[in-house]
Amino acid sequence: DDLAQLPFLTMCIKESLRLHPPVAVISRRCTQDVALPDGRVIPKGNICVISIFGIHHNPSVWPDPEVFNPFRFDPEAPQKRSPLAFIPFSAGPRNCIGQTFAMNEMKVALALTLLRFRIL
Protein backbone atom coordinates (compact mmCIF):
# COMPACT_ATOMS: atom_id res chain seq x y z
CA ASP A 1 0.00 0.00 0.00
CA ASP A 2 2.81 2.40 0.86
CA LEU A 3 4.45 1.87 -2.53
CA ALA A 4 1.38 3.37 -4.21
CA GLN A 5 2.11 6.56 -2.27
CA LEU A 6 5.46 6.97 -4.05
CA PRO A 7 4.59 8.08 -7.60
CA PHE A 8 7.93 9.82 -8.18
CA LEU A 9 9.75 6.57 -7.35
CA THR A 10 7.68 4.80 -10.03
CA MET A 11 8.40 7.61 -12.49
CA CYS A 12 12.16 7.28 -11.86
CA ILE A 13 12.08 3.51 -12.29
CA LYS A 14 10.14 3.77 -15.56
CA GLU A 15 12.54 6.38 -16.91
CA SER A 16 15.49 4.16 -15.95
CA LEU A 17 13.83 1.23 -17.76
CA ARG A 18 13.28 3.45 -20.80
CA LEU A 19 16.93 4.47 -20.93
CA HIS A 20 18.26 1.00 -20.08
CA PRO A 21 15.69 -1.68 -20.98
CA PRO A 22 16.39 -5.10 -19.45
CA VAL A 23 16.03 -6.67 -22.92
CA ALA A 24 17.24 -4.58 -25.85
CA VAL A 25 15.78 -6.64 -28.73
CA ILE A 26 12.97 -9.16 -29.13
CA SER A 27 11.86 -11.21 -32.13
CA ARG A 28 8.49 -12.54 -33.19
CA ARG A 29 7.36 -14.80 -36.01
CA CYS A 30 4.39 -13.38 -37.93
CA THR A 31 1.39 -15.70 -37.64
CA GLN A 32 -0.44 -13.85 -40.41
CA ASP A 33 0.32 -11.31 -43.13
CA VAL A 34 0.81 -7.86 -41.61
CA ALA A 35 -0.04 -4.78 -43.67
CA LEU A 36 2.10 -1.76 -42.81
CA PRO A 37 0.70 1.80 -43.01
CA ASP A 38 2.75 2.54 -46.14
CA GLY A 39 1.18 -0.40 -47.99
CA ARG A 40 4.02 -2.91 -47.68
CA VAL A 41 3.17 -6.37 -46.33
CA ILE A 42 5.19 -8.56 -43.99
CA PRO A 43 4.37 -12.13 -45.06
CA LYS A 44 3.20 -14.79 -42.64
CA GLY A 45 6.12 -16.82 -41.27
CA ASN A 46 8.68 -14.01 -41.39
CA ILE A 47 10.60 -13.24 -38.22
CA CYS A 48 10.45 -9.59 -37.16
CA VAL A 49 13.07 -8.13 -34.86
CA ILE A 50 11.90 -5.31 -32.61
CA SER A 51 14.47 -3.02 -31.01
CA ILE A 52 13.10 -2.00 -27.63
CA PHE A 53 16.23 0.10 -27.14
CA GLY A 54 15.57 1.82 -30.47
CA ILE A 55 11.93 2.52 -29.63
CA HIS A 56 12.88 3.90 -26.22
CA HIS A 57 15.51 6.20 -27.77
CA ASN A 58 13.48 7.36 -30.79
CA PRO A 59 13.49 11.20 -30.80
CA SER A 60 10.19 11.32 -32.71
CA VAL A 61 8.54 9.58 -29.73
CA TRP A 62 10.71 10.80 -26.84
CA PRO A 63 11.98 14.41 -27.01
CA ASP A 64 15.61 14.54 -25.83
CA PRO A 65 15.73 10.73 -25.60
CA GLU A 66 19.18 10.59 -23.94
CA VAL A 67 18.15 12.87 -21.05
CA PHE A 68 16.94 11.32 -17.78
CA ASN A 69 13.54 12.95 -17.22
CA PRO A 70 11.19 11.05 -14.89
CA PHE A 71 8.41 13.57 -15.57
CA ARG A 72 7.82 11.83 -18.91
CA PHE A 73 5.86 9.33 -16.80
CA ASP A 74 3.98 11.81 -14.60
CA PRO A 75 0.47 10.36 -14.12
CA GLU A 76 -0.82 13.92 -13.64
CA ALA A 77 0.32 14.88 -17.16
CA PRO A 78 -0.49 12.01 -19.54
CA GLN A 79 1.40 12.03 -22.83
CA LYS A 80 -0.02 11.60 -26.30
CA ARG A 81 2.07 8.64 -27.36
CA SER A 82 1.34 5.07 -28.25
CA PRO A 83 1.12 2.61 -25.35
CA LEU A 84 3.72 0.64 -27.33
CA ALA A 85 6.26 3.46 -27.04
CA PHE A 86 7.32 2.11 -23.63
CA ILE A 87 7.71 -1.67 -23.55
CA PRO A 88 10.56 -2.65 -21.19
CA PHE A 89 8.82 -5.98 -20.51
CA SER A 90 7.65 -6.50 -24.11
CA ALA A 91 3.96 -6.32 -25.03
CA GLY A 92 1.09 -8.48 -26.14
CA PRO A 93 0.36 -12.09 -25.30
CA ARG A 94 4.05 -12.99 -24.88
CA ASN A 95 5.05 -10.17 -22.56
CA CYS A 96 6.83 -10.76 -19.25
CA ILE A 97 4.51 -12.51 -16.82
CA GLY A 98 6.58 -11.19 -13.92
CA GLN A 99 6.48 -7.51 -14.83
CA THR A 100 4.24 -6.48 -11.90
CA PHE A 101 6.42 -8.46 -9.49
CA ALA A 102 9.58 -6.97 -11.01
CA MET A 103 8.23 -3.41 -10.71
CA ASN A 104 7.26 -4.00 -7.08
CA GLU A 105 10.67 -5.52 -6.33
CA MET A 106 12.41 -2.50 -7.85
CA LYS A 107 10.22 -0.12 -5.83
CA VAL A 108 10.92 -1.96 -2.56
CA ALA A 109 14.67 -2.20 -3.22
CA LEU A 110 14.94 1.47 -4.15
CA ALA A 111 12.72 2.65 -1.28
CA LEU A 112 14.74 0.63 1.25
CA THR A 113 17.99 1.94 -0.21
CA LEU A 114 16.77 5.54 0.02
CA LEU A 115 15.75 5.03 3.65
CA ARG A 116 19.44 4.57 4.49
CA PHE A 117 20.26 8.13 3.40
CA ARG A 118 19.42 11.47 4.92
CA ILE A 119 19.32 14.84 3.23
CA LEU A 120 21.62 17.46 4.74
pLDDT of 56-89, one tens digit each?
A: 999 999 999 999 999 999 988 878 889 899 999 9
Higher-pLDDT residue of 14 and 6 is 14
Determine the Cα angle at 4 with ends 64 and 65, to 5°.
Answer: 5
Q: Answer for the pair 29, 42: CB distance below 8 angstroms, yes or no.
A: no
What span, in angstroms and rounded, lies between the C-alpha atoms of 47 and 23? 18
What span, in angstroms and rounded, lies between the C-alpha atoms of 89 and 106? 14
Instruction: Using DSSP bridges, classify how beta strands 25-29 and 47-51 pair: parallel, antiparallel or unpaired.
Output: antiparallel
Task: Report the predicted TM-score, pTM, of the whole model to 2 decimal places.
Answer: 0.86
